[in-house]
Amino acid sequence: MQFHESKIVCRSLDAALWFTKQYARLILELFLHPVELFASQQLAEALRIALANGILQADDLFLQDDALLARLQASHDPDIARHLAYLHPALQVVEDTTGTAKTASIKARLVDPPILQPDGCVVRCSELAPAIQTIQRAMRQKAIDGVSLKVITHS
């Protein structure tokens, strides 16, 4: 990677392909992992409730994670407690392909790095590698469809 006209660009198609595939792997294996998705949903809902009920203020969202979690727990709000009860290491969640489970909506996270060509032109990776377009279509469709989640164990 290098700077070109105030932008970060890849020096080769191989570097851009590697970066794009690693990014897609990160999204699929971490951000779209069923436990990660479900835990994020539960924490987000607990935060929404705390903000709506005045338990937290917007500035509290800038606290360190452990301090924010302590405030949520100290509230003794039963709705917040219900959501926080899911947040523990033994939580097991799987993707449910039967369509009967709750669907988590997700943000489309795509990357299409620019590549500096030998002639000085900059083109997107997807223009040179159709395989990237396939990866992007699959990730975009996953975001549109969402992910159906089923809790296996939570206590």
34-52 vs 65-74: helix axis angle to the nearest 10? 60
- Mean pLDDT, the chain, integer: 88
**Tell me, what's the pLDDT at 155?**
61
Give the number of other Cβ atoms within 10 Å of residue 134's Cβ. Answer: 11
- Residue pair 119/28 in contact (Cβ under 8 Å)? The answer is no
Domain ranges of the chain: 2-153
**Which residues touch 3 (CB under 8 Å, ≥6 apart)?**
9
Q: What is the pLDDT of residues 121-144, one digit of tens each?
A: 999 998 998 888 888 888 888 888
The whole model's pTM is what? Answer: 0.71
Task: Please give the backbone phi and psi of residue 75, each rounded to the nearest 5 degrees, phi first.
Answer: -70, -25
pLDDT at 46 over 90: yes
Q: What percent of the chain has pLDDT over 70?
A: 97
Give CA–CA dist 148/140, Å, rounded: 16
pLDDT at 99 over 70: no
Distance between alpha carbon 24 and the CA centroid of its chain, in Å? 11
Q: What is the pLDDT of residues 47-91, one digit of tens each?
A: 999 999 999 999 999 999 999 999 999 999 999 999 999 999 888
Q: What percent of the chain has pLDDT over 90?
A: 40
